[in-house]
Chain A
């Protein structure tokens, strides 16, 4: 597809389990962003990748959160030992270089029981 693809679209997990969320950016886009949005709230920045530069991890809320980007393309956001407050929609976006407009995926809705 031509857009940003995220999977799974919905994930229900139990407290304490680990989850992985995947993002396939638009082909050729070198910058990739992760955000999360809790119910009724605005977007919270998590992490930003640009090319081969060190990622900007300044938004990760705790060391339970990590993300990697393999081969400059696909990214995986991992949340270890999930807590109920981790429940949110996790949005991925990509852009051409780090200066272009962001294109967002549909998001992965995470529910922690």
Chain B
């Protein structure tokens, strides 16, 4: 499975944008980039995914580099409820298991 690299932790201020980076230099053409997050004492929840083009949904935006070797999850206005561990995962287009790394622990300050 292709590997992703994320910073261990990041801090943000409430109501400011947050850019969470992810490096995946060994990504293959058939790998989708998925993001999940895990709030304290809960199971992970899906955030967003993409292949080549940037993606937007109600939770976040995903910006994918042109060479696809990195991507950035963007939270446009961080709230205290966005404090969580954010996981960047590569998933083959055929689906199957997701392998979670250590993720980035995001803290949001009021």
Chain A residues at the B interface, C-beta cutoff of 8 Å: 31, 33, 35, 42-45, 48, 50, 56, 58-59, 91, 93, 95, 97-107
On chain B, the number of residues with a Cβ less than 8 Å from chain A's Cβ atoms is: 22
Q: What are 16 sample pairs from A and B whose C-beta atoms fall under 8 A apart?
A: A42-B85, A42-B101, A43-B87, A44-B100, A45-B97, A45-B100, A56-B96, A95-B95, A97-B95, A98-B95, A99-B94, A101-B34, A101-B49, A102-B36, A102-B98, A106-B42
Q: DSSP class of B's interface residues: helix, strand, loop or mixed?
A: loop
The yes or no answer to B21 lying at the interface (CB within 8 A) is no
Bound: A107/B43 CA distance, A = 7
Bitwise interface map of B from 61 to 92 toward A, beta carbon under 8 Å scored 1, else 0: 00000000000000000000000010100000
List 9 additional contacts besides A42-B101, A91-B43, A100-B95; criterion CB under 8 Å. Answer: A42-B103, A43-B38, A45-B99, A56-B96, A97-B95, A99-B93, A102-B44, A103-B46, A106-B43
Q: Which of B43, B85, B99 contacts A93 (CB 8 A)?
A: B43
- Name the residue on B nearest A100 (C-beta): B95
Contact A31 B95 (CB under 8 A): yes
- Name the residue on A nearest B45 (C-beta): A104
Task: Identify the 4 closest CB pairs spanning chains A and B, nearest first.
Answer: A104-B43, A98-B95, A99-B95, A101-B46
For the complex formed, measure the closest distance between the CB of A67 and the CB atoms of chain B, giving whole angstroms. 13
Bound: A34/B87 CA distance, A = 17
For the complex formed, measure the closest distance between the CB of A23 and the CB atoms of chain B, giving whole angstroms. 11
Residues of A within 8 A of B94 (CB): 98-99
Bound: A93/B46 CA distance, A = 11
